[in-house]
Amino acid sequence: MANQPEPEDDLLKSLESKFSAMFDYTQWQRTRATVASAKSTKTNKTVQSLATSSRITPDETLDTRTVGTACSSTCKHSWNRKDLYNILDEKAAKEARKKEIEDNIMKMRIKARMQTMDEYTKRYEYLLSENKKLQAEIQGTEKQTHRDTTKLLRKYEKCRGAVSTINSKFHEDLETAQADLEETTERLNRDLENLHGELRAVEQRLKLKQEELHVLVTYKDKEYPSKALKISGLETEIKDLAAEQEEELDELNRIILIERTSFERQKVADNQAMTSNVTEKSISAMHGSLKDMALQNAVMKKEIEVHRGERETLKQDISLLEAELKQLIKDPKSQVLQQIFPHFFPKEPKCTPDMDVVLDIPTQECLPI
């Protein structure tokens, strides 16, 4: 018991106090009354057993004596001493009581441990079943997740391959287009430089002619009488030359505009051709199923346009037929019953509220004979 924890010591003490309160110890208390013969017999047997265990012979056993009153405070008579039998009985009773208490405590502890063990077993079985359910659920979730992940990875691989192919094609086409653009730009720059050179040459010629005109104007007073006609001719020539140069300049501007327009058209055509080429290359690089899908989409688009045109035509035809049908309904010749049985459908005007009522009833009727 000394090796048990402190709470168990408290439990043992409390149980011991309860068991101590429930037992009656009056039968072991010493009184002045005479001890009963039955108790003496039992005590003799106990003493004999103790004497045997203590190597006391039967001849040496002590006689039972009654408990009496002492003669004085210094009385030393043998009957006033404590009875050995009573001491042994008290000791045996204490040991039996202690053993019974310990047995009861042990039984209670065993019962508590058994109840705890049952609860732990039930808890273990419940947790085991829950763990099995969770394990099955986790396995199912893992399998579904694995399948979904596999599908997504496959889709990702396909998309990544298609994207890489499209990117590579796009970069190649972009490089080709940039090279063509640079080449066209260089050619246009060279042509523009040539045109600027021609323009500078014309301006140089014009400058020379202006210098000649200046010289003529400077010397007109000195040489005017003799060269008046020449000056007028030179002026006319200058005017003609200016007009010619203006015409040439206009022609040059027109040529430049035409060439620029042609270059722009050629650029647009090249861009369209490049776009169509890139589109054709992209389509050729596409998968067969995608080509078929694109072709089917184009065919469906054409069919939709054709059907739309036919629908509009049918709408117009229907509107015309409806108009003709209305006319036929209004035409009296279309009333078959009126044409076959005209006497059932007399053509008489209908009565209106503003008409007078005239009763045409015969007053006399001839007999059939």
Has residue 31 been placed in a domain? yes
Has residue 90 been placed in a domain? yes
At position 118, the amino acid (one-letter code) is: D
Looking at the predicted structure, is the pLDDT value of residue 179 above 70?
Answer: yes
> What would the mean pLDDT of 317-335 be, rounded to a whole number?
83
Has residue 351 been placed in a domain? no
Has residue 26 been placed in a domain? yes
Q: How far is CA 309 from CA 302, 306, 319, in A?
A: 11, 5, 15
Q: Quote the pLDDT of residue 74.
A: 56
Q: How far is CA 176 from CA 183, 227, 267, 278, in A?
A: 11, 67, 15, 10
Mean pLDDT in the chain? 75
| Count of domains for the chain | 1
Find where tokens 């002492």 sit.
Answer: 70
Has residue 197 been placed in a domain? no
Pull the structure tokens for residue 261. 């327009």
pLDDT in tens, 72-118: 555 555 555 555 667 777 888 888 888 889 889 998 989 888 988 99
Looking at the predicted structure, is the pLDDT value of residue 70 above 80?
Answer: no
Q: How far is CA 152 from CA 102, 138, 263, 265, 332, in A?
A: 71, 20, 51, 48, 75
Residues 6+ apart with CB under 8 A from 209: 238, 241
pLDDT in tens, 11-45: 556 655 655 544 555 555 555 444 444 444 444 44
Bin 55: left if φ > 0, else alpha if -120 < ψ < 50, else beta: left
47 C-beta neighbours (distance < 10 Å), count: 19
Pull the structure tokens for residue 252. 């040059």
pLDDT in tens, 189-226: 999 999 998 999 999 999 998 888 887 777 666 666 67
The answer to whether 281 and 177 are in contact (CB under 8 A) is no
Has residue 30 been placed in a domain? yes
Q: Quote the pLDDT of residue 78.
A: 54
Has residue 110 been placed in a domain? yes
Q: Quote the pLDDT of residue 312.
A: 93
The answer to whether 44 and 89 are in contact (CB under 8 A) is no
Between 47 and 132, residue with greater pLDDT: 132
pLDDT band at residue 345 using 50, 70 and 90 as cut-offs: low
Has residue 45 been placed in a domain? yes
pLDDT in tens, 226-258: 767 776 777 888 888 888 888 888 888 888 888
pLDDT band at residue 367 using 50, 70 and 90 as cut-offs: low
Pull the structure tokens for residue 291. 């080509």
Domain span at residue 91 reads 6-66+76-117
